[in-house]
Structure 1
Amino acid sequence: MNYFLIFLFSIPGIIVATTIHEFTRAAVSTALGDTLPKNKGRLTLNPFNYFEPIGFLLMFYSGGFGWGKPVETSALYYKNRKRDTLLVALIPSVVNLVLGFIFLILQSKIFNNNMYLAMLFNYLCYYNVGLAVYNILPVAPMDCAKVLSVTIPANRYFQYLQYEKMIQLIFLLLLFVGLAGGFFSAIINVIIQIMSMIL
């Protein structure tokens, strides 16, 4: 398959994965009392509200590491700051995994006789699972960086913040030379294989 077709079929996968991820963040934070996402007009499934060109292109290049336009949230509204911050950080990736599983079912059980639809749902599955996997990284702007803020001692977190940009640059360098991408692609494919065994 040529790169044009790969890019063409990747577009819906990336857009759906990032849109659902950020919308879920907005919806969960809103449900926990945060008014910021709604006030900023981010409580919507409109993909144009979540499109971020650099994150989009990087996600295509890396096969999963990228981002949509982040939704601003405020922990000041949460009744339980630690618990609710974790929920807002983790639930979007859980939703991506569930959505990836649904797309895999559609690909393998319903559209497997149509090559193009099967390819479309294959990429929809892959990028949703990929986004969830990459969000376990403590690299900004991935969600695990937010998890650290409420799961490690404050002094350790401030030390992390001092090196945050350096960690990000090192990871991007490893990604561009192919060392990180291959490792995480293997993890993504293993998860998809496990999902396939469940079907």
Structure 2
Amino acid sequence: MLSNQRIFMIVGSVALVMLSAVVHEVAHGWVAYKLGDPTAKQAGRLTLNPLAHLDPVGSVLLPLLMAWIGGPVFAFAKPVPYNPYNLRNPRRDEVLVALAGPTSNLLQALVGSLAFRLAFASWSGAADALYWVLMALQIYVYVNLTLMFFNLIPLPPLDGSKIVMPLLHGSARQSYYKIQQYSMPILLVVLYVLPSVLGFDPLGMYLDATAGNLATLMMGA
């Protein structure tokens, strides 16, 4: 039977990853709008209303499954649409739009870690209401850092691919185009096949070294 803490971790992780993913997508659309593209605004996607963004599989089932398994929890919402041809400086602005999502997650993690430190300073050590608030803030910080570092992986459809692309030229860009064709199989292998079949989890190791260590540093825990 699941303990109250385990249930809280699962439900809290899924709820907070939904919130964080929505903010992530709105950030993409908001920066695109500020740089000249009104597509997201016209589509009604510059809103924090989760109903406008959540994807049943990527926003609910995937994080629920990952929280149940006990590994890193991340998710994706429906991508906010934008038209790069409307951007004032497409080559530069596409990178800024891509960076907006991970940056929003970093800012959320910073806010969460500050709130955690303030709440922790007032905590008596008892298993009271503040204890559950601290747990929620820990989850919020880690979820956002996980989303940030996961999205910085340079494979489509992740934001890292849009950040790397303008930096490549000639044969390097052509080689990257070829790799892009296999991006989803690569992600599926890394996410599921390697950990379950070979017991090797490179993504988990990467997220532990990045999101895990940074979360510990930010919260002083």
> Shorter chain as normaliser: what TM range?
0.7 to 0.9
For residues 115 and 194 of structure 2, the distance between their equivalents in structure 1, rounded to whole angstroms, comes to 31
For residues 141 and 66 of structure 1, the distance between their equivalents in structure 2, rounded to whole angstroms, comes to 13
Q: Does 1:105 align with 2:91?
A: no
Among the aligned pairs, what percent are the same residue?
26
Residues 84-104 of structure 1: CA distance to partner in whole angstroms, max 9, x if unpaired? 000000122112112101111
Partner in structure 2 of residue 47 of structure 1: 50
For residues 10 and 194 of structure 2, the distance between their equivalents in structure 1, rounded to whole angstroms, comes to 19
Please tell me the residue identity of whatever aligns with 1:54: V
Residues 25-73 of structure 1: CA distance to partner in whole angstroms, max 9, x if unpaired? 0100011111211121111111121211222333351424321111111
> Per the alignment, in what secondary structure is the counterpart of residue 121 of structure 1?
helix
* Conservation of the 8 A alpha-carbon contact between 1:21 and 1:92: yes
For residues 118 and 190 of structure 2, the distance between their equivalents in structure 1, rounded to whole angstroms, comes to 37
Question: 1:75 deviation in Å?
Answer: 0.6
For residues 74 and 196 of structure 1, the distance between their equivalents in structure 2, rounded to whole angstroms, comes to 38
Partner in structure 1 of residue 126 of structure 2: none
* Conservation of the 8 A alpha-carbon contact between 1:24 and 1:92: yes
Deviates more, 1:86-95 or 1:46-55: 46-55
Equivalent residue in structure 2 for 1:58, among 56, 62, 79: 62
How many residue pairs get aligned? The number is 198
Please tell me the residue identity of whatever aligns with 2:51: F
* Conservation of the 8 A alpha-carbon contact between 2:26 and 2:46: yes
Q: CA 1:174 to 1:194, structure 2 compared with 1: closer, same or farther past 3 Å? A: farther
Radius of gyration: which is bigger?
A: 2
For residues 135 and 180 of structure 2, the distance between their equivalents in structure 1, rounded to whole angstroms, comes to 40
What's the TM-score once normalised by structure 1's chain length? 0.88
Q: CA 1:140 to 1:59, structure 2 compared with 1: closer, same or farther past 3 Å? A: farther
* Conservation of the 8 A alpha-carbon contact between 2:155 and 2:180: no
Partner in structure 1 of residue 202 of structure 2: 180
For residues 108 and 7 of structure 1, the distance between their equivalents in structure 2, rounded to whole angstroms, comes to 23
Partner in structure 1 of residue 165 of structure 2: 149
Q: CA 1:8 to 1:37, structure 2 compared with 1: closer, same or farther past 3 Å? A: same
> Per the alignment, in what secondary structure is the counterpart of residue 191 of structure 1?
helix
* Conservation of the 8 A alpha-carbon contact between 2:14 and 2:63: no
Please tell me the residue identity of whatever aligns with 1:158: Y
* Conservation of the 8 A alpha-carbon contact between 2:21 and 2:77: yes
Question: 1:176 deviation in Å?
Answer: 5.2
The residue correspondences of 1:15-34 to structure 2 (distance < 5 A) are 15-34=18-37
* Conservation of the 8 A alpha-carbon contact between 1:148 and 1:157: no
